[in-house]
A and B are shown apart, each in its own frame.
Chain A
């Protein structure tokens, strides 16, 4: 376990600020067309409506940084992660990898280069691996695709990735099938596959939410160590603020396809400015004696195919004013290195 670095909260230096981002998205959109009736689409009557899963989302992930994407179920966190990796085709906006827009890069070469450098770890480790592949074959897949001329080193590269992912000794796991392993082990295999080609950007889509509490810390420390030692930029998607405090450098809070607040972890969690972030932070359980103010949100999350006018949070916002009903607030500076999308936050 020597690869795992210990959690050291004071070590969360904002080192990312001076380097250029490994990945940046600008006004990223993923809209799904809502199916119209055959008649109205034939006649061209009625308006094509869209489910706005991701709606004008912008952020940047720097090398060595873990950016948290927080929000409740259905707010578009996972869709954002998939769209950033171009696993879903974006409906609009730009994805910049190393400063170059992926849409303008043509040909297989650049996309291949992006695929090598941007990998993903999924929530459900039981579904993340092909049930018919041995562990070795799963880990070898990206290696064989991206290093076709290093055939003799394949097994050594796979072993290195597995050891980095904490599967020690690698020989004990290589020839197993997924159904012979535990959830924590499977997640480490999924991580080994993701880092086998040494990507510079990793999307971690709720990587610990299906694991036992007892093994979560190990996986989180592992991801954190990749950011620190391999200088990887990580987009960490989760609904669990306590794990985010553990691992994230910065946090972006999402609500209904939008980022409503973004800033350094401690500031977002200890002093949320946006009313939705405040409610989200207040809802998270804390291990502390004493009373705490809870914020109860009224109503349910609106349908993302039928968004409210103005600020999309206003129907549930305890602080909504008249302007919120008509004006859609944009992200703007709300203190040092943080931004919020709320009329009440200056």
Chain B
């Protein structure tokens, strides 16, 4: 019955939220599992998560460890074999190991930058929407500017000045992703703040901080979580893009930097075992996140189902 209840009004349905803890989260997951695409997406995401957590332990070798033959020679550009399940790179590095390690980098960047961006975006949206006036004006103009900044050129310039590192990449992606969340949350707050229960809290003498964080925030959180899921996907893609362009952290091996290595080696057309795994992993991850967010979005906004 949680399902039918939560469909009544978007974003404020009591059972659609995560505010009331694990039980609510479980209910949401169960509803998403009810959609075929949602179920497939969730299973895939779970596999990627397991890969990120346990992958490096299962990997036969380090991503920077050169494979050698018994005679001591480097195994260069070997197609998949019993020793190297997904073949080797032009420097004799094991592609399968790189793929497993890459999942950890991708999900770390995706999850941290998504959390950072929704915290930032939700806070800015809450403050702008609730206080209105000049506060709103200033914050929304900043958001407009953020919308005008192209990610790749800006990120490339900053990384080339400061030097690449994973922390910097996460920070840049966070600063790029918050803007949509801020806009959406602000719009939601604008409708929530004139609801009688907010007036009643004010009449009861509740402080503004309490009204924002106790009365309004829990009612916009389901939307924030939607944007977090979308942000994970965006973060993974942006990190891959930076790495592919050679601006990734050289100390870690991500799916993007695997593609970059393959490209630099001129192996894009020849070594399919080198190019396909990171490419497929990226696409599959993006698709699985999309399938889950789509199901979750329908949960929040039942009108989508009619289209």
A-side residues, CB < 8 A to B, are: 82, 85, 87, 112, 115-116, 118-120, 122-124, 127-132, 141-142, 145-146, 177-179, 190, 193-194, 197
CA distance A112 to B206 in the complex (A): 10
- A120 near B199 with CB under 8 A, answer yes
Q: State the CA gap A132–B13 with chains docked (Å).
A: 8
- Within the complex, what minimum Cβ distance (angstroms) separates A79 from chain B? 12
Chain A to chain B: the 6 pairs with minimum beta-carbon distance, closest first: A115-B205, A142-B204, A122-B196, A128-B196, A145-B205, A130-B197
**Residues 170-207 of chain B, each 1 if its beta carbon lies under 8 Å from chain A, else 0:** 00000000000000000000000001110111111110
Give every chain B residue within 8 A of A132 (Cβ-Cβ): 12, 14, 17, 19-20, 218-219
* Complex CA distance for A112 and B199, rounded to whole angstroms: 15
Is the beta-carbon distance between B206 and A131 smaller than 8 angstroms? no
- Cβ A141 vs Cβ B199 within 8 A: no
Bound complex: CA of A131 vs CA of B20, how far in Å?
12
In the complex formed, the residue of A with least CB distance to B200 is A128
Q: 15 new A-B pairs (CB below 8 Å) besides A129-B197, A132-B17?
A: A87-B203, A112-B205, A120-B199, A120-B203, A122-B196, A127-B196, A130-B201, A131-B197, A131-B219, A132-B12, A132-B19, A142-B205, A145-B204, A193-B200, A194-B200
Contact between chains at A130 and B215 (CB < 8 Å): yes
CA distance A87 to B193 in the complex (A): 12
Verify A193–B196 contact, CB threshold 8 A: no
B: residues with CB less than 8 A from A are: 5, 8, 12-14, 17, 19-20, 195-197, 199-206, 215, 218-219
Nearest-neighbour CB distance to chain A for B301, whole angstroms, equals: 16
Query: Cβ of B199: which chain A residues have Cβ within 8 Å of it?
Result: 82, 87, 120, 122
CB-CB < 8 A to B202: which residues of A? 87
* Residue of B199, B202, B206, B215 ringed by the most chain A CB atoms within 10 A: B199
The interface residues of chain B lying within 8 Å CB-to-CB of A141 are: 201, 204, 206
A146 with B205, Cβ < 8 A, contacts A82-B199, A132-B14, A132-B19 known: yes
A128–B197 alpha-carbon span in the complex (Å): 4
Question: Which B residues are in CB contact (< 8 Å) with A145?
Answer: 204-206
Known interface pairs A132-B19, A179-B8. Does A124 touch B205 (Cβ–Cβ under 8 Å)? no
User: Judging by beta carbons under 8 Å apart, are A127 and B8 in contact?
Assistant: no
Least CB distance from B302 to A in Å reads 16
* Contact call A115/B204, Cβ cutoff below 8 A: yes
Name the distance in Å between B194's Cβ and chain A's nearest Cβ: 10
Write the nearest CB–CB distance from A44 to chain B, whole angstroms.
Answer: 19
Ordered by A's residue number, 20 sampled pairs between the chains whose C-beta atoms are within 8 Å are A85-B203, A87-B199, A87-B202, A119-B203, A120-B200, A120-B203, A127-B196, A128-B197, A128-B200, A130-B197, A131-B13, A132-B19, A132-B218, A142-B205, A145-B204, A145-B205, A178-B14, A179-B14, A190-B200, A194-B203
- Chain A residue numbers with a CB within 8 Å of B203 are 85, 87, 115, 118-120, 194
What is the interface of chain B mostly: helix, strand, loop, or mixed? Answer: helix
By a CB distance below 8 angstroms, the chain B residues around A116 are 205
List the A residue with the shortest CB-CB distance to B19.
A132
Tell me which residues across on chain B come within 8 A of A128, comparing CB atoms: 196-197, 200
Which of chain A's residues have a CB closer than 8 A to the CB of B201?
Answer: 130, 141
In the complex where A120-B199, A128-B196, A132-B19 touch, is A193 in contact with B5 (Cβ < 8 A)?
A: no
Chain B residues contacting A112 (CB-CB under 8 Å) are 205
Tell me which residues across on chain B come within 8 A of A82, comparing CB atoms.
199
Interface centre among B5, B197, B201 (most CB of A within 10 A): B197
Minimum C-beta distance from A323 to chain B (A) = 41
For B8, give the chain A residue with the smallest CB separation: A179
Which residue on A lies nearest to B216, using beta carbons?
A130
Q: Which residues of A contact B218 (CB under 8 A)?
A: 132
Q: Are B196 and A131 in contact (CB under 8 A)?
A: no
Find the B residue at minimum CB distance from A119.
Answer: B203
Closest CB of chain A to B28's CB: distance in Å? 14
Cα–Cα, bound, A118→B199 (Å) = 13
**For residue A85, which residue of chain B has the nearest CB?**
B203
Complex contacts, B17 vs chain A, CB 8 Å: 132
Chain A: minimal CB distance from B23 (Å):
13
Q: For A115, give the chain B residue with the smallest CB separation.
A: B205
A194 CA to B204 CA in the complex, in Å?
8
Query: Separation in Å of the B299 CB from the closest CB of chain A?
Result: 16
Please pick, from A129, A130, A179, A197, the residue contacting B5 in the complex, using a CB distance under 8 A: A179
CA–CA, A179 and B15, complex, Å: 10
Interface pair B8/A124, CB less than 8 Å apart: no
Q: Which residue of A lies closest to B207 (CB)?
A: A145
Chain A residue with the shortest CB-CB distance to B17: A132
Complex CA–CA separation, A85 to B8 (angstroms): 32
Contacts of B205 in A (CB 8 A): 112, 115-116, 142, 145-146
Q: In this complex, which of A130, A142, A190 has the most chain B Cβ atoms within 10 angstroms of its Cβ?
A: A130
**In the complex, chain B residues whose CB is within 8 Å of the CB of A193:** 200, 204
Give complex CA distance A132, B196 in Å. Answer: 14
State A177–B8 Cα separation when bound (angstroms).
Answer: 14
**Alpha-carbon distance between A283 and B39 when the two chains are bound, in angstroms:** 60
The residues of A that contact B12 with a CB separation of less than 8 Å are 131-132
How far is B241's CA from A299's CA once the two chains are assembled, in angstroms? 65
